[in-house]
Amino acid sequence: QSASNYIDPVNGFQFTGITDAETQVTYGVTFPPLATSGAQSTEFIGEVVAPVAAQWIGIALGGAMLQDLLLVAWPNAGSIVSSTRMASDYVQPTAYTGAATLTTLPETTINATHWKWVFRCQGCTSWTSSSGTTGSISVDGSGVLAWAYSSVGVDNPSDAESTFQEHTSFGFFGIDYSQAHTSNYQNYLE
Least CB distance from residue 13 to ligand HEM, whole Å? 22
Nearer to ligand HEM, 32 or 58 (CB): 58
Least CB distance from residue 61 to ligand HEM, whole Å? 9
What is the DSSP code (8-state) at residue 104?
E
Nearer to ligand HEM, 84 or 108 (CB): 84
Would you tell me which residues interact with ligand HEM (CB under 6 A)?
A: 58-60, 64-66, 70, 72, 85, 90-93, 146, 148, 164-167, 170
Which residue has its beta carbon closest to ligand HEM? Answer: 58
Phi, psi at residue 25, to the nearest 5°?
A: -100, 135
Nearer to ligand HEM, 97 or 187 (CB): 97
What DSSP string describes 148-165?
EEESS--S-TT-TT---P
Q: What is the Cα–Cα distance from 150 to 47, expressed in whole angstroms?
A: 17
Nearer to ligand HEM, 18 or 181 (CB): 18
Of the candidates 146, 165, 104, which has an alpha carbon nearest to the alpha carbon of residue 17?
A: 146
Nearer to ligand HEM, 3 or 32 (CB): 3
Least CB distance from residue 154 to ligand HEM, whole Å? 10
Of the candidates 189, 177, 190, which has an alpha carbon nearest to the alpha carbon of residue 15?
A: 177
Least CB distance from residue 150 to ligand HEM, whole Å? 8
Least CB distance from residue 106 to ligand HEM, whole Å? 24
Q: What is the Cα–Cα distance from 122 to 118, expressed in whole angstroms?
A: 13
Of the candidates 135, 121, 133, 125, which has an alpha carbon nearest to the alpha carbon of residue 39?
A: 125
Phi, psi at residue 131, to the nearest 5°?
A: -95, 5
